[in-house]
């Protein structure tokens, strides 16, 4: 069993796994930037991936207080976090396809779900009910997460294919990463 890395939330002072947090970095211009890949250099701090907590950090400018610097907060910081998480999720789907961890198309996904080798079922948010219901039942029967966060156009663009409606992902690091990103995205979007 591997222990998750933890950090202290700059707003709530909770010690949380970093999978539940968003890392922020002060850029060279003194602006705060969400470091969603956790790779940017510079002064950083962690904030719980939660709509109310993030809004509180922005409203109070917790970033300035914790870093003891004058910090500029972009007006669209919340929107950039949401769009950044979505972009990160799409990149993860693309990598999963290249790594052979992703199958798409109704018949291929049906086959993977029936063989019980899928770990996650992804369906376009604008999918028609008939095909969606059939595959969703198979996924739910195996207690698989069902993701319906993105449109067919978004899924298609992510993996470089046309008219992608159904996807199944095998168990693996990229699948776990996608679920982590999705959890953060839902927490950032939700009004508590």
| Distance from C-alpha of 112 to C-alpha of 68, rounded to nearest angstrom | 53
Which pLDDT band, with edges at 50, 70 and 90, does 32 fall under? Answer: very high
* End position of a domain, from candidates 75, 91, 107: 75
- Which residues in 73-101 are b (16+ Cβ under 10 Å) and which e? beeebbeebbebbbebbbbbbbbbbeeeb
pLDDT at 1: 46
* End position of a domain, from candidates 46, 75, 104: 75
Q: What is the mean pLDDT of the chain?
A: 94
Domain with 65 in it: what CATH number?
Answer: 3.30.1230.10
**Does pLDDT of 192 surpass 60?**
no
Q: Are residues 51 and 85 in the same domain?
A: no
Q: Are residues 93 and 156 in the same domain?
A: yes
Torsion sign (Cα): 133, 139, 144, 150: negative
* End position of a domain, from candidates 31, 54, 75: 75
| Distance from C-alpha of 68 to C-alpha of 55, rounded to nearest angstrom | 20
Count: domains in the chain = 2
| Distance from C-alpha of 145 to C-alpha of 120, rounded to nearest angstrom | 5
**Does pLDDT of 183 surpass 70?**
yes
**Domain span including residue 149:** 81-189
Domain with 119 in it: what CATH number?
Answer: 3.30.1330.30
The model's pLDDT over 49-97, given as tens digits with 9 standing for 90+, comes to 999 999 999 999 999 999 898 999 999 999 999 999 999 999 999 999 9
Torsion sign (Cα): 81, 85, 90, 92: positive
Which pLDDT band, with edges at 50, 70 and 90, does 3 fall under? Answer: low
% of the chain with per-residue pLDDT over 70: 97
Q: Are residues 23 and 45 in the same domain?
A: yes
Q: Are residues 39 and 109 in the same domain?
A: no
């Amino acid at each position: 069993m591997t222990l998750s890395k933890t950090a202290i939330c700059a707003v709530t002072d909770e010690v949380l796994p970093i999978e539940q947090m968003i890392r922020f970095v002060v850029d060279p211009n003194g602006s705060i930037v969400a470091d969603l890949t956790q790779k940017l250099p510079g002064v950083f701090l962690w904030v719980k991936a939660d709509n109310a907590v993030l809004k509180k950090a922005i409203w109070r400018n917790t970033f300035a207080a914790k870093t003891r610097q004058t910090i500029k907060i972009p007006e669209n910081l919340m929107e950039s976090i949401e769009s950044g998480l979505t972009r990160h999720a799409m990149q993860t789907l693309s990598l999963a396809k290249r790594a052979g961890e992703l199958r798409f198309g109704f018949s291929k996904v049906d086959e993977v779900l029936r063989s019980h080798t899928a770990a996650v079922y992804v369906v376009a948010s604008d999918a028609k009910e008939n095909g969606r219901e059939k595959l969703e039942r198979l996924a739910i029967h195996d207690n698989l997460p069902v993701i319906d966060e993105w449109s067919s156009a978004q899924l298609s663009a992510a993996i470089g294919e046309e008219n992608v409606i159904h996807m199944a992902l095998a168990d693996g690091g990229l699948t776990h990463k996608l679920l982590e990103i999705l959890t953060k995205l839902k927490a950032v979007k939700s009004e508590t």
